[in-house]
Structure 1
């Protein structure tokens, strides 16, 4: 075997090893994508109703073409979301604690999902802190992380601002 061929095989082996390590790490832990928190004096019931009224979300999440939920707003219900310019994606509501928090999961890549955690917590000012936190897990999560951060790092703050503004106007 030539020296050049050995170098190529070593390089390819090292790359495949690095890819395997990233896939394993991405599969065993959640990877943070973005967290956005806004303080508000909106009524907690109004905040929750905006989340629970799933088909009306495009009113404040302007990037959505539509979002459907095939059942009640509770853990185990599934639906479809269509972001403008993208194919529809299926999702599942994986946890619901009314008027406190919920999580939905999007399986947009093979063996990889993104969890969207939403929380309403009382703050020291007598209002509430509303937080959206995105985490991803799976063998492809670390590979897609830069793309997810680029997309959602800009989109989520705008959606949260629109959500809070609408909640305040209805409170």
Structure 2
């Protein structure tokens, strides 16, 4: 075996080892993608109603072509979302604490899912803090993190701002 071939095999083996390590780590822990919090004086009921009216989310999330829910807004219900320029993606509502928080899970990458956590919490000013937190988990989560941050780092703040503005206009 030539020296060059040994070097190439060593580099290839090291790269595969790093990729395998990232896949294992991504499978056992959540990877933070983005968190956005906005303060608002909007009514908690209005904030919650905007989240619970799933098909109307296109009013404040302009990147959505449509979003459907195949049942009530509760844990275990599944649906489909279509982002402009992409194929439809299935999702599941995995947790709901009415008027406080909910989480939905999207399986948009092979062997990897993204969880969207949404929370309404009272703040010290008599209003509420509304938070979106996106996390990924699975073998590809660490490998795709730069892409996820690039996409959602710009889109999520805009959607949260639109959501809060709509809630305030209805409160």
Q: Shorter-chain-normalised TM-score: which range?
A: over 0.9
SS in 2 for 1:74: coil
The equivalent of 2:158 in structure 1 is 158
For 1:60 and 1:8, the matched residues in 2 are separated by 51
Q: So what's the TM-score if we normalise by structure 2?
A: 0.99
C-alpha distance after superposition, 1:57-98 (max 9, x if no partner): 000100000000000000000000000011110000000000
Matched, 1:169 2:166: no
Question: How many aligned positions are there?
Answer: 171
Matched, 1:68 2:68: yes
- Structure 1 residue 112 displacement after superposition: 0.4
**Structure 2: 5+ residue runs without aligned partners?**
none
For 1:23 and 1:85, the matched residues in 2 are separated by 28
For 2:5 and 2:121, the matched residues in 1 are separated by 60
The equivalent of 1:136 in structure 2 is 136
Q: So what's the TM-score if we normalise by structure 1?
A: 0.99
For 2:112 and 2:84, the matched residues in 1 are separated by 22
The equivalent of 2:86 in structure 1 is 86
- Structure 1 residue 109 displacement after superposition: 1.2
For 2:163 and 2:169, the matched residues in 1 are separated by 10
**Structure 1: 5+ residue runs without aligned partners?**
none
Matches within 5 A, 1:107-122: 107-122=107-122
The equivalent of 2:29 in structure 1 is 29
